[in-house]
Amino acid sequence: MTRYLDVHDLRQLLRARGVPRMLREMRACIEEDFLRWESFQMSARVAHPSAAGVIELMPVSDAQRYAFKYVNGHPGNPRVQLPTVMAFGVLAEVATGYPLLLSELTVTTALRTAATSVLAARALARPGVRTLALIGNGAQSEFQALAFMEGLGIRELRVFDTDPRATGKLVANLAPWVRSGELRIQGAGSVQEAVQGAGIVTTATADKRRAAVLDATWVAPGTHLNAVGGDCPGKTELPPALVARSKVFVEYEPQTRVEGELQQMPADFPATPLWQVLAGRAAGRDGAQQITLFDSVGFALEDFSALRYLHALALDAGVGRDIDLVPALDDPKDLFGPALGRGAEPAPPVAQGMEAMA
């Protein structure tokens, strides 16, 4: 049977284990899979854009498991009380095609995005950085904050959003970690103010347009940039001048060239796959004064990692339920009878030759 996890099941797991712990464990799964990058069959996501947004399918597989995610991006959705991003996913056996897991991935996408951000920052940011600027305080922001707190020792957040209500929401949601002394949050009056003194800058804005959230002159040498919001053609967050000043790292380069900050750059502009840095095949940061940029667009392998993590965790914790997503058949050649809720009728004799046509 297929294990099914809905939003209530994920909430149960998050409350039982805690968000920082789940972010750490998911990051470990993503790193494990990045280190066996060449074991996977990969492709860029299949996107169906519209005037309102985009709907995408994201497939990937290794020799044992296949996974896909259905995900959308509709910046106008909050006006109708819907999330900008909604997703679900499937993990299946390669040998049979049987679906092992059907899971919510809306919240999980935020978890895996933040976990991947920190995985990259651990490899690329300057050692000892303790201050993070969060530009865009919407649905991704708390996950990013806690991932960097847990995985990189970030203690101070400098936050800005064009919508003050989003920043107020962020502050309220992170209040337990502020009270415990694990985080300090400083609101900024502008993007420029937020990035001053921050060793890492995360941009996580939602507008579907070519934007320049940062000015190239505001970013100090040695900063690590984590560009999360640009994830489809025509949607960027950084000016070309800032990208040109940076050493750029990517997930799956053919996808990032079309969807990420690199879409603004010449086709031969250099980019280094993150997996090669993690595997020791390529250099990360070249010096303390270099600006590094993780051009994050979200890749299917991260969802594969998240789904296999959730599947194992759900089975171990007894969370979720088994569903009959695929019919169980006594006779695999008889789909009609079970579809009607009964066994097959006794088969009549089969006439042969011309007698059957009389």
In the three-class reduction of DSSP (H, G, I as helix; E, B as strand; rest coil), residue 272 is classed as strand
54-61 vs 46-49, strand pairing mode: antiparallel
Alpha-carbon span 287 to 233, nearest angstrom: 32
Q: Rounded CA gap, 25 and 31, in Å?
A: 10
Separation CA 23–CA 10 (nearest Å): 13
Q: Which of 259, 221, 258 is nearest to 242 (CA)?
A: 221
The two tokens of residue 139 are 């649905």
Q: Residue 179 burial (CB < 10 Å; 0-12/13-18/19+)? A: exposed
Nearest Cα to Cα of residue 275 among 292, 259, 299, 258: 299
**Residue 290 in tokens:** 């270099």
CB 214, CB 221: distance < 8 Å: no
231, 268, 303, 324: the active-site residue: 231
Q: How far apart are CA 292 and CA 342, in angstroms?
A: 63
Q: Whose CA is closest to 304, among 63, 79, 95?
A: 63
- Residue 185: beta bridge partners? 157
Give the amino acid at 66: Y
Asked if 130 and 153 touch (Cβ cutoff 8 Å), the reply is: yes
d(Cα 250, Cα 293) in Å, to the nearest integer? 9
For the question of residue 231 being annotated catalytic, the response is: yes
Residue type, 198: A
Active-site residues: which are they?
A: 231
